[in-house]
Amino acid sequence: MKTISSVEQPLVARALWHLGAGVSAIRQEQLRAPGAGEVLVRATHTALSRGTERLVWGGRVPVSEAEAMRAPHQAGEFTFPVKYGYCAVGEVVDGEAGWIGQRVFALHPHQDLFVLPTSAVARVPADVPSSRAVLAANVETALNALWDGAAAPGMRIAVVGAGTVGSLIAWLAGRLPGCEVTLVDIAPRRACVAASLGVGWALPHEAPADCDLVFHASATAAGLNTAIGCAGDEARVVEASWYGNERVELGLGAAFHSRRLTLMSSQVGRVAPAMRSRWTHARRLAKALSLLADPLPDVLLAPPVAFEQLPQCFASLLDGRDCAPCPIVAYPPAADLRGAPPVPMS
């Protein structure tokens, strides 16, 4: 279908840029009108993925991983300046006629307007609120981790780290028939998250032992060692954290070898090997969005912060002190899409 752009030029978008370690600002940039096969999206919500965005904001992305860790629509380079993020929900306001008015999810940084190919956006199901849909990328990560770990009904499963990804892993694992799932974290305030998701709760010194499968998502050496301690004989420990340039010290002595434990990584950039021949990234994302029809993950969403306040609030949003582990950014309602010339990056 032919694209007919209804928005006059120039279009000016506002985006969050990290200018140096711990220094962020909103900058303007000029957009072109969407072309054939493209849409203009007005963001309504974005979310911060605390673990990864903390590393980016702090300049802790290793040079060796700079290319592998690029977000799909990132601008700039690691370390700085860089525009980063991958949890955006918005409404299509121009472009391909069949998409106008649709709510969509995109792996896009924090920005109020952006143009993408239709192949890079996914429709949000009608029964999924926009605020909850921002969890789609993290649900993909959790789903991929469960596939990597070969989670199955009836298992005793521990998840160490009650951040967004760990909590979503626990939520999905708890939906498997007969599974005993325990969410483990050092912060007692996260017990309410476990209760709301319908899974068990433990502090590290109370963590269950002899588990069939263990997931680690705290991005700390202490958490990973706790996870290893939860594993039963010949069990798998799935590492879902990313540490950036931080070195991790593990206790692989004692009974690690005699118990024949398996420590494996899981990373969302590739579909899990057991599913890869049949599942594309688009199919996995669509499944993640459909799973969010369940209202239980709302417990993970912190009260929204206004986009305009994001540079001032970024540090506090990353500190993880809220009961709800997922920070949400709310964007202003639709306004005139035409604007002043963009402010140059300094």
Q: pLDDT tens digits, residue range 44-71?
A: 999 999 989 999 999 999 988 889 889 9
Gap between the Cα atoms of 194 and 306, Å rounded: 28
* Same domain flag for 209 and 151: yes
Statement: residue 103 has pLDDT above 90 = yes
Which among 120, 150, 83, 58 has a CA at the least distance from the CA of 281? 120
Say what percent of the chain tops pLDDT 90: 83
Arithmetic mean of pLDDT, 254-267: 92
Dihedral angle, C-alpha 294, 295, 299, 305, nearest 10 °: 110
Opening angle at CA 254, ends 248 and 255, nearest 5: 105
SS3 213: strand
Q: Which two tokens stand for residue 22?
A: 């711990």
**Is residue 280 assigned to a domain?**
no
Gap between the Cα atoms of 49 and 319, Å rounded: 12
* Same domain flag for 99 and 175: no
Gap between the Cα atoms of 241 and 165, Å rounded: 9
Q: pLDDT tens digits, residue range 142-189?
A: 999 999 999 999 999 999 999 999 999 999 999 999 999 999 999 999
What per-residue confidence (pLDDT) applies to 81?
96
* Same domain flag for 70 and 148: no
β-bridge mates for residue 111, sequence order: 15
Locate tokens 């540079």: which residue?
311
What per-residue confidence (pLDDT) applies to 5?
55
* Same domain flag for 114 and 160: no
* Same domain flag for 153 and 257: yes
From the number of C-beta atoms within 10 Å of its C-beta (0-12, 13-18, 19+), residue 80 rates as middle
Arithmetic mean of pLDDT, 73-78: 94
Last residue of a domain, one of 212, 237, 265: 265
38 lies in which domain range?
Answer: 11-134+301-330
Which among 159, 138, 137 has a CA at the least distance from the CA of 149? 159
* Same domain flag for 119 and 20: yes
Gap between the Cα atoms of 296 and 198, Å rounded: 9
**Is residue 5 assigned to a domain?**
no
Locate tokens 């969410």: which residue?
183
**Is residue 343 assigned to a domain?**
no
| Secondary structure (DSSP) of 52-85 | HHHHHHTT---GGGTTTT--TT-EE-SSSSEE--
* Same domain flag for 18 and 117: yes
Locate tokens 């700390």: which residue?
220
* Same domain flag for 159 and 252: yes
**Is residue 161 assigned to a domain?**
yes
For the chain, what is the mean pLDDT? 92
**Residue 74 one-letter amino acid:** Q
Which among 321, 270, 325, 306 has a CA at the least distance from the CA of 26? 306
**Is residue 344 assigned to a domain?**
no
**Is residue 288 assigned to a domain?**
no
**Is residue 44 assigned to a domain?**
yes
This prediction has a pTM of: 0.92
Statement: residue 335 has pLDDT above 70 = no
Q: Say which CATH number the domain at 92 has.
A: 3.90.180.10
Q: Say which CATH number the domain at 181 has.
A: 3.40.50.720
Of 28-42, 128-142, 153-167, 234-248, the one with minimum mean pLDDT is: 234-248
**Residue 165 one-letter amino acid:** V
**Is residue 81 assigned to a domain?**
yes
Helix axes of 136-149 and 281-291: crossing angle, nearest 10 degrees: 110
33-64 in b/e form (b: 16+ CB < 10 A) is bbeeebbbbbbbbbbbbbbbbbbbbbbebeee
Structural domain count, the chain: 2
